[in-house]
Structure 1
Amino acid sequence: MTTRLIPLALIALTAVPTFSGTALAAPMLAQNAAPSSGETNGSTTNAPEIRGLAGPYLAARQAAIGNDYSNAANYYLQAMAQDDTDAFLQDSALVALISSGEMERAGALAVTMSDQGRATELARLMQRSELARAERWQDLVNAIDKTPDPSPNEGMDGQDSGGNQLLDKMIRAWALLGAGNARQSLSAFEELGKIRGARPMVNYHLALAKAAVGDYEGAELLLSEPATGAHILGVIARTQVLSQLERNKDAIAMLEATPGFDEEPQLVTLRDRMEKGETLPFDSVRTPADGMAQVFLTFASVLATAEEPDPLALIHARLASYLSPDLGEARLLSAQFLQAMGQFDLAEKEFEALRDLGDMRPIAELSRIDALSRAERLDDAEKAALALTAAHPELAQGWIALGDLLRQQDKFSQAIPAYDKALSLIGDNAGEARWFPLYARGIALERSGQFPKAEADFRAALELRPDSAQVLNYLGYSLVDRNEKLDEALELIQRAVELRPEDGYILDSLAWAYFRMGRYEEAVAPMEKAVAAMAGDSLVNDHMGDIFWMVGRHREAEIQWQRALSLKPETEADAQRIRTKLDRGLDAVLDEEMAKGGKPPVVRAPEKPAEAPKN
């Protein structure tokens, strides 16, 4: 049987309850799930003190809008110093404290709220977590039993509370196990499994509980169901259960049939240990607190994988980590959510914790590197890529990511060895898997002045993917730029245009090919389309000016050059060339360039970023 493994280690269990997120009070964070452009860059510097109530409250709201959880917490606490009886301020501060990972301060605030008779659902969850950490299991059972059933609309956000009731009851079932009532605990899980839509979620925890008390046969029966165990934690738990049943051979077969097995080091390690004859201990759940942590993680994963990820997913993931600090999945989910919110400094703390656990996940690291790169934190991204290639030198995608980052920073000569390593790992007979690193290495070689080698890579990439508009365009333009094989170059670019007729980069290449061949009138139409598609690109506007000049439209050429200059050319040399054209005209510039070295050097067409295949 093939097990479907959830990408990036998220536990997206099937057939979960259809509640629309828990009813925890998160008025600001829940309403502002994504940072707007120009918002916080992840800084967690201490918030400056602002006197009075209005100032810190407004500052807290603004920080919360930008998902700047640390500063939001500090400002809310400043506001509470002026008024410590406002339930809204207290709960908002609690949300921000937990989101930023300040769990001890959050626990103290939850106690204060309870003592004042203002405990919200989130405050109660925080207190339940503290009881579990102190192993006060019967007190935890009693606390849940004494909590009145909420009305359907209880909670500051007005959402249905069905999800919270299920969460509380699952916590209670684990607490019963902690209190020594194993039979009651298993019965409680079995009863919860009767709730419509909740069976796969509950059965996973029932399986963990059965295994925790030594009923491995019962656990295996549940985990063998795809809807119950088809996620990375389920695969790990089932592997350990099968090993305890002296079925290592079956466990190995199950692991190796899991999609993505080779990309999950922890699964490979389990396989290797069993191949040496080791019987794996069942340590997926070592204590009831670990089980309770997985309850929080289950809910966090459901919220995070919803159509619109709920910021409350982060709160549940934080509570899971608080209860079980070694639960890598919880830290990974927190890191991914923080990264998506633009809170890179907080995310890096979680990634660092994973590394300290010896739990670097290649797939997650690749996602992290990509996010850092998109956020233009290139130094951090490069460090992460170097760390990944050091920890997993056998992973071709890690070397490709490193090469891409170096190329993005114009470190072309340094990028070449990274692509060399990736291609050697992929092998000569991998077919389609080779085309992107060949193309990317070709770019690095071309930009390093090694065109013959670059051309060989581009042509090899085209053999694998003849209809790659990217490769057709880059090879075609490179030949045009070198004034070589112009007829073939034009044919390559025309094929690229047929494949992507609206692509501004490719249209620019087509126009420039006509320009270099002296077919100026034919260059006008594609160049005008390129400018329409990329109006804010300095190089494209500069090219448009050159073409207008060559067809006698000198005034329009000057307008395009002025616009190109206003759009900040890539280098000062490019800017000076445009200024010279404005002062003396293109003819004079070309005559000077011809006098200095032969063919007129042409400003390079804008390079469209190489697109890696989607995993």
Structure 2
Amino acid sequence: MTKRLLPLALIALFTTPLHAQDAPAAKASDRPAQAESGGADDSNHPQVPLSLGIAGPYLAARQAALDSDFGEAAHYYGEALGKDGTDPYLQDSALVSLISSGQMEAAVKLANRTSTESKATDLANLMRRAEFAKDGKWTELMALGAEILAQPDKAGDQNGEDKLLDGMIEAWALLGAGKASDSIAAFEKLAKIPGAQAMVQYHLALAKAKVGDFEAADKLLSQDAASGHILGIIARAEVLSQLERNKDAIAMLDALPRVGEEPALLALRARLEKGETLPFDSIRTPADGIAQVFMTFASALASSEEPDPLALIQARIAEYLSPNLGEAHLLSAQLLQSVGQFDLAEQEFERLRELGDMRPVAELSRIDALARADRPEDAEKAALALTAAHPELAQGWIALGDLLRQQEKFADAVPAYDKALDLLKDRGNAQWFPLYARGIALERSNQFDKAEADLRAALKIQPDSAPVLNYLGYSLVDRNIKLDEALKLIQRAVELSPNDGYILDSLAWAYYRLGRYQDAVAPMERAVSSMSEDPLVNDHMGDIYWMAGRKREAQIQWQRALSLKPETEAEEKRIKDKLELGLDAVLASEKGKPRDSAAGQ
């Protein structure tokens, strides 16, 4: 996985989008012959004076931080602080690494130490406030907040985001201190900040529900304040139940798209259906409220077009304040995955399982991340566990099928897609991807008649899917059948995805099969330009050059293909034969022989 990193003034930047989709996306490169299977800029880096003793651990810490190896960075920053514990840059860097790696108690200890030894940084003060909230020290929390706001560089100069965060922490602290009226007034004042109304209304609703004003809470939550996230949905269901409106709560849940894929909501619905009055457990203490403040900010920062570097910090603080808050553990896991910290992410997923919160969305995210981290065996085990725990979940079976297919266990993948398609039999449009994926698995298992039926069925649902058009067209070309139709299918795929190297290769190969060698040259050259490291594409380029009369160039391409290590011994031998004997002789020797599908020729 590629990741982009910025200097660690506070935190490494998370750049990979969170995985949230109906099914693992099909690559345009899915095809019979090849199935789907940073640098740092120091310009903004503060200049830290390096004594002889501090240079080693500091540089090791910085490199670990740039690699997003938070645990290693925390270790070496700790060594550096042991030699110079007063440098604010080192303090913040150590704090970031400790928090990011989940070492919250150590982070609190460091934050408290820096506050007594020197002027505490903003991050240190944030951790101190979190500690006060966790311990229920509301007076101390509010006093520290007032002290921060009184600082010359803070007073009257807070930007909107800082003002909102500080204000919401204070509003919950007021509730913790027993000043409910002041707390409600504080939330209502914050709601006037431009752009903050929906966010603040949600927390105001939670605060009102916490003090027993469920009518007011429901009014606020019904105004879209609870929409879009599971925490708000659960909170509103609990509020409605407290108002003896279980039927309305059930209707709200039933109106949600894909409610059947969220076991927590299904369990909630079952309790409502039994007539149980749900307790309002969304907020047990004001510290839970502050945890949700941090979750609100973390979620917004993580889902923005350019994910903010503080998202993981916010999520970690949320789980520190409310250890049973599954959403915080899930978001931390996803953010850790996005920077390649899979071991730390696994700790968060394990925590979710300990909480009895094995949610499909979390497990699907985990499976996807493990697959991208080139850990197929772990990913397959996770997919098997998910399908065992939730056999009714079509996406689990699709994920399992994809993993098996990516490991070239094509025959084993087919039954997984069978299960998914059976579960999706009443959801026609949702069937296109497992039909397409099963078609690939069947084709690679030498069951082309069945594969063709699946691919055509997928195309009927998604007639403008470039990957499906390409795969079906190339499959026909590869078998040298229905070439006119194959060409039309691939030409349409090119129209839809004109810069896709695999599709351009398919177009060139269709021209080749039709004997239109000169027409094949241009799209093949474009394919090689975009996929210069693909042995099969280079091999195809050689064949086309040969048939177009450019035999020296053909030999160069075959040599190139051979140097890129073809997938199979059969492919490698065939290229060597072409180099030694020429393509004409190889084709003549193959006449009448069974097609070698592995060679893709």
Tell me the TM-score normalised to structure 2 length. 0.87
Encode CA deviations 1:208-245: one digit per residue, 9 max, x unaligned.
12111211112112212114655321221111011001
Are the structure 2 counterparts of residues 173 and 430 from structure 1 closer, same or farther at C-alpha, using a change threshold of 3 Å? closer
Distance in 1, matches of 2:291 and 2:73, equals 26
1:16-55 to 2 correspondence within 5 Å?
Answer: 28-30=9-11, 32-34=13-15, 36=38, 52-55=53-56
What SS does the aligned partner of 1:28 have? coil
Retained in 2: the 8 A contact 1:545–1:561?
yes
**1:88 aligns to 2:85 (yes or no):** no
- Following TM superposition, by how much is the alpha carbon of 1:289 offset from its aligned partner in structure 2, in angstroms? 1.5
Q: Percent identity?
A: 67
Distance in 2, matches of 1:507 and 1:480, equals 13
**Structure 2 unmatched ranges of 5 or more:** 1-6, 17-37, 42-50
What SS does the aligned partner of 2:53 have? coil
- Following TM superposition, by how much is the alpha carbon of 1:572 offset from its aligned partner in structure 2, in angstroms? 3.2
Counterpart for residue 604 of structure 1: 600
Residue 562 (structure 1) aligned to one of 549, 559, 576: 559
What SS does the aligned partner of 1:404 have? helix
1:120-269 to 2 correspondence within 5 Å?
Answer: 120-152=121-153, 160-227=158-225, 230-269=228-267
Are the structure 2 counterparts of residues 192 and 384 from structure 1 closer, same or farther at C-alpha, using a change threshold of 3 Å? same
Retained in 1: the 8 A contact 2:64–2:73?
yes
Counterpart for residue 610 of structure 1: none
- Following TM superposition, by how much is the alpha carbon of 1:602 offset from its aligned partner in structure 2, in angstroms? 8.0
Counterpart for residue 45 of structure 1: none
- Following TM superposition, by how much is the alpha carbon of 1:591 offset from its aligned partner in structure 2, in angstroms? 3.6
Are the structure 2 counterparts of residues 483 and 37 from structure 1 closer, same or farther at C-alpha, using a change threshold of 3 Å? farther
Distance in 2, matches of 1:278 and 1:144, equals 41
Distance in 2, matches of 1:533 and 1:306, equals 30
**Which amino acid in structure 2 is aligned with residue 315 of structure 1?**
I
Retained in 1: the 8 A contact 2:14–2:335?
no
1:535-550 to 2 correspondence within 5 Å?
Answer: 535-550=532-547
- Following TM superposition, by how much is the alpha carbon of 1:395 offset from its aligned partner in structure 2, in angstroms? 1.4
- Following TM superposition, by how much is the alpha carbon of 1:316 offset from its aligned partner in structure 2, in angstroms? 1.4
Are the structure 2 counterparts of residues 293 and 187 from structure 1 closer, same or farther at C-alpha, using a change threshold of 3 Å? same
Residue 575 (structure 1) aligned to one of 567, 572, 576: 572
What SS does the aligned partner of 2:9 have? helix
Over the aligned positions, Cα root-mean-square deviation in angstroms equals 2.7
Distance in 2, matches of 1:347 and 1:323, equals 19
Are the structure 2 counterparts of residues 230 and 180 from structure 1 closer, same or farther at C-alpha, using a change threshold of 3 Å? same
Encode CA deviations 1:575-598: one digit per residue, 9 max, x unaligned.
232122212222333343347x35
Residue 484 (structure 1) aligned to one of 468, 481, 497: 481
Distance in 2, matches of 1:558 and 1:153, equals 70
Aligned pairs, number: 564
**1:512 aligns to 2:532 (yes or no):** no
- Following TM superposition, by how much is the alpha carbon of 1:357 offset from its aligned partner in structure 2, in angstroms? 1.3
**1:458 aligns to 2:461 (yes or no):** no
What SS does the aligned partner of 2:352 have? helix
Distance in 1, matches of 2:569 and 2:259, equals 50
Are the structure 2 counterparts of residues 134 and 463 from structure 1 closer, same or farther at C-alpha, using a change threshold of 3 Å? closer
Counterpart for residue 58 of structure 2: 57
**Which amino acid in structure 1 is aligned with residue 584 of structure 2?**
D
- Following TM superposition, by how much is the alpha carbon of 1:144 offset from its aligned partner in structure 2, in angstroms? 3.0
Are the structure 2 counterparts of residues 96 and 583 from structure 1 closer, same or farther at C-alpha, using a change threshold of 3 Å? same
Counterpart for residue 323 of structure 2: 325
Tell me the TM-score normalised to structure 1 length. 0.85
**1:71 aligns to 2:52 (yes or no):** no
**Which amino acid in structure 2 is aligned with residue 28 of structure 1?**
A
Are the structure 2 counterparts of residues 189 and 277 from structure 1 closer, same or farther at C-alpha, using a change threshold of 3 Å? same
Retained in 1: the 8 A contact 2:133–2:321?
yes
Residue 410 (structure 1) aligned to one of 408, 411, 419: 408
Distance in 1, matches of 2:164 and 2:322, equals 21
Distance in 2, matches of 1:325 and 1:203, equals 24
Residue 375 (structure 1) aligned to one of 354, 373, 376: 373
**Which amino acid in structure 2 is aligned with residue 175 of structure 1?**
A
Distance in 2, matches of 1:495 and 1:91, equals 55
- Please say which of residues 412-421 and 141-150 is displaced more in the overlay: 141-150
**Which amino acid in structure 2 is aligned with residue 348 of structure 1?**
E
Distance in 2, matches of 1:383 and 1:602, equals 28
What SS does the aligned partner of 1:410 have? coil
Residue 314 (structure 1) aligned to one of 312, 315, 323: 312
- Following TM superposition, by how much is the alpha carbon of 1:495 offset from its aligned partner in structure 2, in angstroms? 4.1
**Which amino acid in structure 2 is aligned with residue 586 of structure 1?**
L
Retained in 1: the 8 A contact 2:8–2:66?
no
**1:587 aligns to 2:584 (yes or no):** yes
What SS does the aligned partner of 2:150 have? coil
Distance in 2, matches of 1:430 and 1:589, equals 49
Retained in 2: the 8 A contact 1:406–1:414?
yes
Encode CA deviations 1:141-190: one digit per residue, 9 max, x unaligned.
33334444344569xxxx95553343233223322322333333333333
Retained in 2: the 8 A contact 1:32–1:65?
no
Counterpart for residue 345 of structure 1: 343
Are the structure 2 counterparts of residues 147 and 431 from structure 1 closer, same or farther at C-alpha, using a change threshold of 3 Å? closer
Distance in 1, matches of 2:432 and 2:12, equals 44
Are the structure 2 counterparts of residues 56 and 457 from structure 1 closer, same or farther at C-alpha, using a change threshold of 3 Å? same
Retained in 1: the 8 A contact 2:397–2:420?
yes
Distance in 1, matches of 2:446 and 2:39, equals 38
Counterpart for residue 22 of structure 1: none
Retained in 2: the 8 A contact 1:34–1:66?
no
**Which amino acid in structure 2 is aligned with residue 603 of structure 1?**
A
Retained in 2: the 8 A contact 1:32–1:64?
no
**Which amino acid in structure 2 is aligned with residue 223 of structure 1?**
L
Distance in 2, matches of 1:510 and 1:193, equals 58
- Following TM superposition, by how much is the alpha carbon of 1:90 offset from its aligned partner in structure 2, in angstroms? 1.5
Distance in 1, matches of 2:488 and 2:8, equals 59
- Following TM superposition, by how much is the alpha carbon of 1:283 offset from its aligned partner in structure 2, in angstroms? 0.2
Encode CA deviations 1:24-82: one digit per residue, 9 max, x unaligned.
xx95344745492699xxxxxxxxxx982011111212222222211111111111111
Distance in 2, matches of 1:283 and 1:258, equals 21
- Following TM superposition, by how much is the alpha carbon of 1:556 offset from its aligned partner in structure 2, in angstroms? 1.4
Retained in 2: the 8 A contact 1:152–1:162?
no
Counterpart for residue 523 of structure 1: 520
**Which amino acid in structure 1 is aligned with residue 555 of structure 2?**
E
- Please say which of residues 320-329 and 338-347 is displaced more in the overlay: 338-347
Counterpart for residue 44 of structure 1: none
**Which amino acid in structure 2 is aligned with residue 277 of structure 1?**
G
Retained in 2: the 8 A contact 1:29–1:67?
no
**Which amino acid in structure 1 is aligned with residue 114 of structure 2?**
M
**Structure 1 unmatched ranges of 5 or more:** 1-25, 40-49, 606-615
Retained in 2: the 8 A contact 1:385–1:401?
yes
Are the structure 2 counterparts of residues 573 and 38 from structure 1 closer, same or farther at C-alpha, using a change threshold of 3 Å? farther
Residue 438 (structure 1) aligned to one of 406, 413, 435: 435
Are the structure 2 counterparts of residues 358 and 27 from structure 1 closer, same or farther at C-alpha, using a change threshold of 3 Å? same
Are the structure 2 counterparts of residues 33 and 340 from structure 1 closer, same or farther at C-alpha, using a change threshold of 3 Å? closer
Distance in 2, matches of 1:599 and 1:342, equals 42
Retained in 2: the 8 A contact 1:504–1:530?
yes
**1:532 aligns to 2:533 (yes or no):** no
Distance in 2, matches of 1:180 and 1:123, equals 27
Distance in 2, matches of 1:193 and 1:493, equals 55
- Following TM superposition, by how much is the alpha carbon of 1:394 offset from its aligned partner in structure 2, in angstroms? 1.2
Distance in 2, matches of 1:555 and 1:124, equals 70
Retained in 1: the 8 A contact 2:73–2:97?
yes
Encode CA deviations 1:57-115: one digit per residue, 9 max, x unaligned.
11212222222211111111111111122222112111111111101111111121122
- Following TM superposition, by how much is the alpha carbon of 1:420 offset from its aligned partner in structure 2, in angstroms? 0.2
What SS does the aligned partner of 2:102 have? coil
Are the structure 2 counterparts of residues 298 and 572 from structure 1 closer, same or farther at C-alpha, using a change threshold of 3 Å? same
- Please say which of residues 441-450 and 509-518 is displaced more in the overlay: 509-518
Distance in 1, matches of 2:406 and 2:39, equals 22
